Amino acid sequence: MIFEIVQQAESGRARTGRLELKHGVVATPAYMPCASRAVLRACPPDAVAAVGVQILVATAYHLHLRPGEEVVAACGGLHRFMGWRAPILTDSGGFQVFSLADQNDISEEGVTFRSPVDGSEILVSPELSVEVQMGLGSDIAMVLDECCACPAEREYVERSVERTLRWAERSLEAHDHPWQQLFGIVQGGVYDDLREWSARETAAMGFPGFGIGGLSVGEDRAEMLRCLRAAKGQLPEERPVHLMGVGTPLDIVDCAAEGVDLFDCVLPTRNARHGSVMTWEGPIRIAGAQYETDRRPLSEECDCPACAGGYERAYLRHLHRIKEPVGWQLLSLHNIRFYTQLLARVREAIGAGALDELRGEVSAWSERDRA
């Protein structure tokens, strides 16, 4: 892996970069759509690449359950298995463990839970998580971590950070892959000093890059940004940083200003499946009666398959209302294109020293979305 800072903002931590991995180069800051089960729902990989996606996120937790890393490896690795030629980052599944908090048992050894596929008991240890991700053959793997709920008592969060640090050490010892990069993960809840401690200790282990996890899980935006600054200040500037699961347009601009290089979020595709469409002219709720005979494209400024392909709002509304998967695909690709354009504009704004102006525009967009 090679990570180069291309341009550093004159003030603040914002930067553009070039991340070179086994399967390609990523211009950062970059958005990574979530193809958790080796697919971006209803969207074929070539169509995802065509709307400007540089790198995807898949989840080791899901792929371990089905089809299994052995199957993926026998098919030539995750890239060949899913027909994706560009880089892939795999998440260990720590967040999925967090989301199943009432169904799992966390111990020093790892996390024990019941498989949602067949009900069998599974122990995911740091070593198994690394083994699964090496079998998948992703470009970037993540250590197993514990993502705490919010709010959580300080004493519990402190114990959780200690456990995540020990798991990180075990993950490093278990990782043995010729080109896959293993990133450490910073936790610490909403406690600044725990964030700083977690980041400092994780950085000292020598990981080539870092994830910052456990944010956007219930805390307010001010807490999120404060904790991000606390963690980021303790990480080496020359290493890439992935902010995990944070991704409204305004969050992306604000966190890019703090020096975040990689973002992942399910928001664009989840919103699309619920008929919420992102455009720079303002959000569209495509199920609305006002679009029943609307002959316009979703956006005149967009070159996604829906807009450039001549699909009108009236037809897309019809597809959404009858729950046609083609509608999910077209709306998802549109929203993903909105995000890849947003990140391109973030990179351009950082280079031009105009991030504040872009933030104003995105903030106005966000206000229209809330309205």
Regarding whether 328 and 201 lie in a shared domain, the answer is: no
Regarding whether 300 and 326 lie in a shared domain, the answer is: yes
- Average pLDDT score over the chain: 95
- pLDDT (0 to 100) of residue 97: 64
Q: Are 106 and 148 in contact (CB under 8 A)?
A: no
Whether 242 shows a pLDDT value over 70: the answer reads: yes
For the chain, where are the alpha helices, taking DSSP H only?
Answer: 45-50, 60-65, 69-74, 78-82, 94-99, 126-136, 154-174, 192-204, 221-232, 249-256, 267-273, 305-308, 313-321, 325-352, 355-370
Of 95 and 167, the structure prediction assigns the larger pLDDT to 167
Catalytic residue among 176, 264, 356, 369: 264
Regarding whether 202 and 125 lie in a shared domain, the answer is: yes
Catalytic residue among 46, 91, 303, 369: 91
Rama region for 107: left / alpha / beta (φ>0; ψ in -120 to 50; rest)? beta
- pLDDT (0 to 100) of residue 117: 85
Q: Of 265, 291, 317, which marks where a domain is finished?
A: 265
Tell me, yes or no, whether 311 lies in a domain. yes
Nearest alpha carbon to residue 263 among 285, 240, 282? 240
- pLDDT (0 to 100) of residue 366: 84
- pLDDT (0 to 100) of residue 99: 66
Domain count, the chain: 2
In angstroms and rounded to an integer, the radius of gyration of the C-alpha atoms of the chain is 20
Whether 259 shows a pLDDT value over 70: the answer reads: yes
Residue 369's pLDDT band (cuts 50, 70, 90): confident
Between strands 241-243 and 210-212, the pairing is parallel
Between strands 104-106 and 111-114, the pairing is antiparallel
Tell me, yes or no, whether 1 lies in a domain. no
Instruction: Sort 143 into a burial class: Cβ within 10 Å, 0-12 / 13-18 / 19+.
Output: buried
CA distance 23 to 329: 25
Render the burial of 265-283: b for 16+ CB within 10 Å, e for the rest. Answer: bebbbebbbebbbbbbeeb
Whether 148 shows a pLDDT value over 90: the answer reads: no
Q: Tell me what the mean pLDDT of segment 191-217 comes to.
A: 97
Q: Residue 226 belongs to a domain with what CATH number? A: 3.20.20.105
User: Which residue reads 């070179």 in tokens?
Assistant: 20
Regarding whether 326 and 309 lie in a shared domain, the answer is: yes
Residue 371's pLDDT band (cuts 50, 70, 90): low
CA distance 230 to 157: 16
Regarding whether 305 and 230 lie in a shared domain, the answer is: no
Whether 213 shows a pLDDT value over 90: the answer reads: yes
Whether 102 shows a pLDDT value over 70: the answer reads: no
pTM: 0.96
Q: Tell me what the mean pLDDT of segment 117-134 comes to.
A: 92
Regarding whether 184 and 63 lie in a shared domain, the answer is: yes
Q: Tell me what the mean pLDDT of segment 208-216 comes to.
A: 96
Q: Of 241, 265, 289, which marks where a domain is finished?
A: 265
Whether 134 shows a pLDDT value over 60: the answer reads: yes
Structure tokens at 248: 């409204």
Cross-strand partners of 259: none
Residue 91 is among the residues annotated as catalytic for this protein? yes
pLDDT tens per residue, range 61-76: 999 999 999 999 999 9
CA distance 315 to 309: 12
- pLDDT (0 to 100) of residue 120: 86
Whether 368 shows a pLDDT value over 90: the answer reads: no
Whether 53 shows a pLDDT value over 90: the answer reads: yes
Q: What share of the chain is helix, strand, coil (3-state, %, to 5)?
A: 45, 20, 40
Regarding whether 173 and 322 lie in a shared domain, the answer is: no
Residue 145 is among the residues annotated as catalytic for this protein? no
Residue 103's pLDDT band (cuts 50, 70, 90): low
Residue numbers of the domain that contains 150: 10-265
**In sequence order, what DSSP letters do the residues of 293-360 get, joined into one string?**
T--S-S-TT--SHHHHTT--HHHHHHHHHTT-HHHHHHHHHHHHHHHHHHHHHHHHHHHHT-HHHHHH
Residue 369 identity (one-letter amino acid):
D
Regarding whether 213 and 186 lie in a shared domain, the answer is: yes
CA distance 31 to 34: 10
Tell me, yes or no, whether 2 lies in a domain. no
pLDDT tens per residue, range 317-366: 999 999 999 999 999 999 999 999 999 999 999 999 999 999 999 999 88
